[in-house]
Structure 1
């Protein structure tokens, strides 16, 4: 039978092609997956094609990172498909990568997105374009601009309190925290940044939160499709093109485009994010860093990004803060005492100055961000090879900082699972390595919206703690759980808490 098969010329050619393909594949596997072994860097064994990404959508990503960290240490290698990723949780090296040697690590992973809006996201922009975009939108997040916007945030916090009181009036006072706080953060962003009252949007009002929750929820990230852009970038671009046609994406894209175009041709002063960004981007264009066509495209992109990313990460932080306060009543009591003292000094008025004068509230927020960093991982792409002692990072290597296990390392945070805001007291926070705690990233490419997010968190917490006691309910999961899926953001779901109205 074999002799008959081999006597056929076409069969011989086919067998030769298969043999050469198998040899080429084995050789590719040997060369590709030997990168870290040759450098004596430990890590999990990859499998062909998928690397270490196979089945990752079935895992809880922060817990998966924690397991790798505990098994392989502060520096280990993984593969996204055939792409090597060096994971680093050594603060001294992180400081060099993000600050001292930033010129070697300017960019993040390149997804080569072609869509005219998404390609301008500051999170994926590269080199000169990133610098131009950063220069164009940074003025919108200055301390002075945020202080002016805090007046609008205060009104949003009052609406949040009214909504929570309605929950109590309806029955047992139990509420789903992420949904309630997500509504608040969407209200803040829509009001402060776009001059839009989402409650006045008629039938569209509920879509703002519902659609944003869908786009960031496990329904997308728990699918095997979530890993395609990482293991097969060319196919990822195709699936991405399909994804942005979802009605949820199109809803936010159309609203953002309409608002930006309206502002660009309006003589009315709104003093919102879009107006300030258009002004700053136009000034950047005058310096030759942008052309006139790019200005609107950049503002639309950053507005859309801010609309969605700002909603989810801040809503998550508020949810986990409320959960932590419910678990730690003594911390909550101390916070309430400090808030009430400051309010008494200010004739009962909650404003920017009160919210920013309570040091203990920042200690609590920092401890929540330590235990539950909204962004699970932070990446950089090495654009110029560099060596740290015996660690060589070649050009083109992706560097990942696994924040979740880094923030729980007992070397930097003793008894790391304990919720202890006093870690960040004035005396103790000085001994924390600055790059062992970096929930907003670090260096020139840190989160541009950090001050805005902290302002709305402080104001919301002050408003809530003044009116309510936050408690666990019979529906509260302890410890809190996170859904499975390949999402770079922490996603608490079904966090049911109970409120007691204070006398």
Structure 2
């Protein structure tokens, strides 16, 4: 009995130590000249998210509105201190001018210095930190210029032509096909990534259970319990996870996609095959031979396009290891399954709800098609579609990522220039509440209205560039913004030419977002009807 009591006391002592370790900084914001949200043990200030009482987007909007008129406030994301910057000028100062203090993102995938070849996601551009990230950004940046996108465009149009034939066949007889938009566009984005990043031809809209799609879908399902547990473990025990060689996703999928990449590279090198796709560019980047070329102005790439900073234009001559090479291919797959398909989904939703906007966009599509005189869509013709760009830009304003984070890598003296001064300590984070800013009437009058005219030639000069953050801000912005915009516009062009988006009996208005710490996702899906045009 005494032994059992000793074990019990020891267990209680360990729990007490662990609890103290996780809550010892809960008074971090006390004494700082900024307001802060209430903190609950272990749950921090984001308990409502953890308990799935709010969608992430709604939570960001709620806390943003709560501190109206405040430039910065504090909260705890579980046990992590976070400074939330509401003011676009302060965001610009932190993310651009003083970027050297905020080079990294919060580590979600583990330590990027981990040399274990089984751990890949920490070696992606998103997961890398400090100098490793700088070197990789500079190595990859030449692959995402306008000239490289132009060269890849034909691969995209070749796929879209086949995809349209398949969707039209589904509408034969009834004159329409009902689709859940997340599933529909994830399949399309998956196939685009397959051809542009992996050099494969896949037809997931038709061959619904093909292995490439099902393996990718499983790998990118970050809401599975096992994945959430890994995220938790990476956050609190990163060194242990690294030594164990555990990645955030299952090894089965990592091995599957790694083999595809190795086989593709091996075949191309053995037979001298060259294809204008991402894997070919990465093969050049891996050898340190991919260089920036002189580019013409890329203003026509779209209002939402983010420019590369000095970091990405440094000539490094660095080479990539095989795990790093494979990791970059995997992050493109993640972008297709989540970010790009989400952009598609909400744009289609807004077009279905705003038929006047859809009609105007259709008229531009028809006019462009007429000018092409029966020829396939070209990169130049797509870039000239001004209303298409306005619609895409407004959709990205309405439905952006909820928030963006940066990790403070060395103590930072915050100074707003108006008397507000304090220290952001190394190891704490900052949040940029993107959804809150995008829906602030101070920057966007009547923000709940879907209004592409905000981005017209006459009006877009009124938009504060730092209050528009669909692809991030500063040197650590999204490297693939040109690719994403090109893909969304090219696919939407073909869909609009052949179909109209309409509501059906399953369409939820307003859409209810999935609750919890997930990105943009609809609780019950976004169901729309694609009606064949005459």
TM range (shorter): 0.7 to 0.9
Residue of structure 2 in register with 1:79 after alignment:
76
Give the direction of change, closer, same or farther, for the CA distance of 1:103–1:498 in structure 2 (3 Å limit): same
Question: What is the distance in 2 between the residues matched to 1:66 and 1:161?
Answer: 38
Question: What is the distance in 2 between the residues matched to 1:284 and 1:151?
Answer: 24
Q: Residues 371-450 of structure 1: matches in 2 within 5 Å?
A: 371-373=398-400, 375-384=401-410, 385-389=412-416, 390-392=420-422, 393-450=424-481
Residue of structure 2 in register with 1:281 after alignment:
286
Deviation at 1:302, TM superposition (A): 0.5
Residue of structure 1 in register with 2:217 after alignment:
213
3-state secondary structure, aligned to 1:363: helix
Q: Is the 8 A contact 1:174 1:496 kept in 2?
A: yes
3-state secondary structure, aligned to 2:29: helix
Q: How many residues align?
A: 492
TM-score (norm 2): 0.82
Residue of structure 1 in register with 2:97 after alignment:
100
3-state secondary structure, aligned to 2:84: strand
Residue of structure 2 in register with 1:49 after alignment:
42
Is 1:132 equivalent to 2:129 in the alignment?
Answer: no
Question: What is the distance in 1 between the residues matched to 2:530 and 2:91?
Answer: 41
Residue of structure 2 in register with 1:4 after alignment:
none
Question: What is the distance in 1 between the residues matched to 2:530 and 2:14?
Answer: 68
Is 1:363 equivalent to 2:390 in the alignment?
Answer: yes
Give the direction of change, closer, same or farther, for the CA distance of 1:170–1:181 in structure 2 (3 Å limit): farther
Is 1:122 equivalent to 2:125 in the alignment?
Answer: yes
Instruction: Work out which of the two has the higher radius of gyration on C-alpha atoms and give 1 or 2.
Output: 1
Residue of structure 2 in register with 1:37 after alignment:
30
Deviation at 1:136, TM superposition (A): 1.6
The structure that is helix-richer by fraction is 1
Give the direction of change, closer, same or farther, for the CA distance of 1:48–1:459 in structure 2 (3 Å limit): same
Deviation at 1:77, TM superposition (A): 1.7
Which 5+ residue runs of structure 2 have no aligned equivalent? Answer: 292-313
Bigger drift between 277-286 and 387-396 goes to: 277-286
Which 5+ residue runs of structure 1 have no aligned equivalent? Answer: 1-7
Residue of structure 1 in register with 2:515 after alignment:
484
3-state secondary structure, aligned to 1:405: helix
- Residues 277-315 of structure 1, C-alpha deviation per residue, up to 9 Å, x if partnerless? 2212322699995775x4333221111111222332111
Deviation at 1:218, TM superposition (A): 6.9
Deviation at 1:336, TM superposition (A): 0.9
Q: Is the 8 A contact 1:377 1:403 kept in 2?
A: yes
TM-score (norm 1): 0.87
Q: Residues 66-465 of structure 1: matches in 2 within 5 Å?
A: 66-73=61-68, 74-110=71-107, 111-112=110-111, 114=114, 116=117, 117-169=120-172, 171=174, 172-199=176-203, 206-217=210-221, 219-220=223-224, 225=229, 228-229=232-233, 232-234=236-238, 237=241, 241=246, 243-245=248-250, 247-263=252-268, 265-283=270-288, 294-349=320-375, 350-373=377-400, 375-384=401-410, 385-389=412-416, 390-392=420-422, 393-465=424-496
3-state secondary structure, aligned to 1:412: coil
Give the direction of change, closer, same or farther, for the CA distance of 1:348–1:16 in structure 2 (3 Å limit): closer
